[in-house]
Structure 1
Amino acid sequence: MTSEPRVIVAGGGLAGLVAARHLAAGGVAVTLFERREDVGGRVRTVERDGYRFDRGFQVLFTAYPAVQRELDLETLDLRRFAPGACIARPGHRSTLSDPLRDPRTLPTTLFNPDLTVGDKLRLLRLRRRLERTDPAVVFAGDDGSIDEYLHEREFTDRFVENFAAPFYGGITLDRSLSTSRRVFEYTFKALSEGDIAVPAAGMGAIPRQLTARAREAGATVETGTTVESVSQDGDGVVVSADGETLEADAVVVATDPPTARDLTGVASVPTTARACVTQYYTLRGGTDLETGKRLLLNASEEGPNHVVPHSDVAPEYAPDDATLVSATYLGEREEGDDELAAISRQTLESWYPERRFDRFEAVHTERVAFAQFAQPPGIHDRLPDVRDPEGAVYLAGDYTQWSSIQGAMESGRMAAKAVVEDLSSA
């Protein structure tokens, strides 16, 4: 490059922040505009009255390659969930763990009544096969639904109903398991090789760290500024932001999918959404749900998909005299906040009939209409490329990869790489 080009990044989610950092590191004068007053996109944390409420149930998979590359995990001060989950239904709870990572759980996992011995052996064989699989080739393989994938490998209906449906329902927001098998393989491999964790300061610490790294690399990050339009102008691009017209050598559109489609005209940007509702509750201080820092999976169709013991895993999420848990419901629920809270309390009381939840109180509700884009079999072959918009306009978002933190961060890096390469050769 003979002179320092100017690039604008529209959107301050994970993809945009990663793109800004790599652009700045590549010798580009980059300015990122985020329409909200804080960065993070779908990854944000609300702090109130000593509590931390993430925007929906979100966790970090530490084995994701992009997570290891883009984040300083030690500085994030992670709080880790124990491997596995607790399976719950009225009057019944059981623990399913990973004895290879936590040998102390071998007896409880071996004699867990919610899975057959054959299912446990099949899980072990699947783990060993995916350990030898390069994650880069997962999305290049054959496709089908998760449900088809599990039944092809002779997992029983008991395994699917008691564990796979609620566990992967939580990951894909699709309890029917009609999501692409590629998502299952990639996440199953990541779960086998790393941890599920949250930063002590909440998931919002992730975009804050990415922002600091982008600024250290030389990027400018401005919040409270909305990019309204993007248009080609000769070899450059004209951007309208809050009524002001700006010229740039290139633009990276890193907004949510519907906005990205509107700004770029790329019809292959997926806009079919998966929604969820996550509601947070306080319980009497010191309440122990006896999960061993694991998720509680609902093995029945009634009630929330899963319950999370937040302050057990991360004490920093609640004041010292309170216990914080959350329940996540899949889809856009018609029930009001009070009705959902009543359902969650009744569900917990049915799982713990020996207890009373008389100090159960809903303190925060997050209704996320676009938590993920839907990922039916074959969709990843139809997703747009970062260079699909016309001219010097590029895409950065998980919708160029797959719906995940991994996909978002990787897309930001790939978009920045494409911009730097194209500007260098111009």
Structure 2
Amino acid sequence: MTDADVVVVGAGLAGLRCARALADAGRHVVVLEAAGHVGGRVTSDDVDGYVVDCGFQVLNPSYPAVRRWVDVDALGLGAFDAGVLVRTTSSLKVLADPRRAPHLAWSSLRDGLIDARDLVGLVRWMTPALVRPQSSATAPDAPLAEALDRLGVTGKERRILERFLAGVVVDPEGATSANFVRLLLRSFALASPGLPEGGMRRLPEQLAAGLADVRLDTSVVGVRAGGVDTDAGPIAARHVVVATGTGEAERLTGMPATEMHGLTTWWFAVPEPPDPRPLLAVDARGTHTPPGPVWNAATVTTAAPSYAPAGRHLLEATTLLARPDGSAGEPQVRAHLADLYRCSTDGWEVVAHHVIPDAVPAMPPPLRLTRPVEAGDGVFVCGDHRDTASIQGALVSGQRAARAVLAA
């Protein structure tokens, strides 16, 4: 006698997508989550009227999985502009996508952020991903830094690109698969990412809506053929899907864990945005790394006003744990932000500080778009660590695991 057809361990994006696909196929699914909320790493907290996500996260509506399985309109997405603020030695400038932010593109040309030779090389490098993304994913691969060296891209565009991407893939060394980076840049070229009204938690909450049996605050202590053991007792099931982080998945199934990259995010309440434009800011000074611990910053309320009380604003600043200054304290972060925006930070208040050692899976070359989801004995594994380090990867991984269960 079984208690369920399938037990899904973990209510992150992958687990929720897997559970929904199985429920839609008529399976009785029980979702178990150790935390008191759904979402896994995609979660938010309310702090004194502010909404702070667990790390700076954004939702890109161009992801195919998001278009297929998420009601983006219902999330009330507040989008950032298609560009970045760039701190140079002289001023804070804008590098914008001329196709999607023509009102900002002129300043990019005027301010000398674009070198014609570098631009031609980057366009040639990116074109296959824009036109034939699948063939781009399987092309010969290399670390990002090596790929840019081969292209001869050495100017300001390279520093801007590297600083921006380091915050996205949480890799300041340029060791990430160049093919994966091209697919990421393709998604940015197709749409501007944004933030749901009320925080990134609204995404997993939407995915969980309608699931009949989601049990929070329930820890799984063991997985076996025919069910799981929880802190509340055993649950029998024909199949088990482990949809946890990679470390917990290794503990429960024995599947080797993948390398993870870590970051910290500082959240500041600010009376006014240091720059009014809904753009991510990066520091392009310094030859190899920024002259301070902050790799990107953004006043998130310029895109999503719901993140702060009326009349107030919320700013995020991200540091990378792989760097010696990744664990920098508040004084160093404030000093860098003051230099980045050329403003005083005296009136800024720390709302939250998140240290996230396992923020995203590493994506070294050669790019592997998928990893096995079958662990044997009716046990399956899913998560962004089985596909790609993105919301797209998490959702697709959950769907793949559901298909594997249905075919078993």
Name the TM-score class by shorter chain.
Answer: over 0.9
Task: Give the AA of the match of 1:102.
Answer: A
Counterpart in 1 of 2:200?
A: 203
Alignment pair present for 1:294 and 2:279: yes
Contact 1:86–1:291 (CA under 8 A) maintained in structure 2: no
Tell me the alpha carbon deviations over residues 324-374 of structure 1, each in whole angstroms, 9 at most, x when there is no partner: 10100001688899x632223212322344x43331221211110100122
Contact 1:56–1:277 (CA under 8 A) maintained in structure 2: yes
CA RMSD for the aligned pairs?
A: 2.2
| Partner secondary structure for residue 9 of structure 1 | strand
**TM-score where L is the length of structure 1:** 0.89
Contact 2:32–2:218 (CA under 8 A) maintained in structure 1: yes
| Partner secondary structure for residue 60 of structure 1 | coil
Contact 2:264–2:326 (CA under 8 A) maintained in structure 1: no
My pick for the range that moved more, 109-118 or 61-70, is 109-118
Q: Which of 238, 249, 257 does residue 260 from structure 1 map onto?
A: 249
Cα distance in 2 for partners of 1:154, 1:408 equals 34
Alignment pair present for 1:348 and 2:348: no
Contact 1:4–1:28 (CA under 8 A) maintained in structure 2: no
1:79-98 aligned at under 5 Å gives the runs 79-89=78-88, 91-98=90-97
> Using a 3 Å threshold, how does the CA distance of structure 1 residues 230 and 138 change in structure 2: closer, same or farther?
farther
Task: Give the AA of the match of 1:294.
Answer: L
Give the superposition deviation at 1:62: 1.1
Counterpart in 1 of 2:345?
A: 357
User: How much identity, in percent, do the aligned residues show?
Assistant: 30
Contact 2:3–2:235 (CA under 8 A) maintained in structure 1: no
My pick for the range that moved more, 119-128 or 54-63, is 119-128
Cα distance in 1 for partners of 2:162, 2:276 equals 19
Structure 2 unmatched runs, 5+:
none
My pick for the range that moved more, 411-420 or 355-364, is 355-364
Counterpart in 2 of 1:246?
A: 235
Counterpart in 1 of 2:76?
A: 77
Structure 1 unmatched runs, 5+:
none
Alignment pair present for 1:322 and 2:321: no
Tell me the alpha carbon deviations over residues 157-192 of structure 1, each in whole angstroms, 9 at most, x when there is no partner: 43222x122100011101221111122111111111
Aligned length: 402
Cα distance in 2 for partners of 1:332, 1:37 equals 30
> Using a 3 Å threshold, how does the CA distance of structure 1 residues 246 and 357 change in structure 2: closer, same or farther?
closer
Alignment pair present for 1:278 and 2:265: yes
| Partner secondary structure for residue 329 of structure 2 | helix
Task: Give the AA of the match of 1:297.
Answer: V
| Partner secondary structure for residue 378 of structure 1 | coil
Cα distance in 1 for partners of 2:76, 2:199 equals 10
Cα distance in 1 for partners of 2:110, 2:154 equals 16
Contact 1:81–1:197 (CA under 8 A) maintained in structure 2: yes
1:79-118 aligned at under 5 Å gives the runs 79-89=78-88, 91-118=90-117
Contact 2:167–2:296 (CA under 8 A) maintained in structure 1: yes
| Partner secondary structure for residue 152 of structure 2 | coil
Counterpart in 2 of 1:158?
A: 156
Contact 1:277–1:333 (CA under 8 A) maintained in structure 2: no
Contact 1:332–1:369 (CA under 8 A) maintained in structure 2: no
Counterpart in 2 of 1:313?
A: 303
Cα distance in 1 for partners of 2:350, 2:367 equals 37
> Using a 3 Å threshold, how does the CA distance of structure 1 residues 351 and 403 change in structure 2: closer, same or farther?
closer
Contact 1:276–1:371 (CA under 8 A) maintained in structure 2: yes
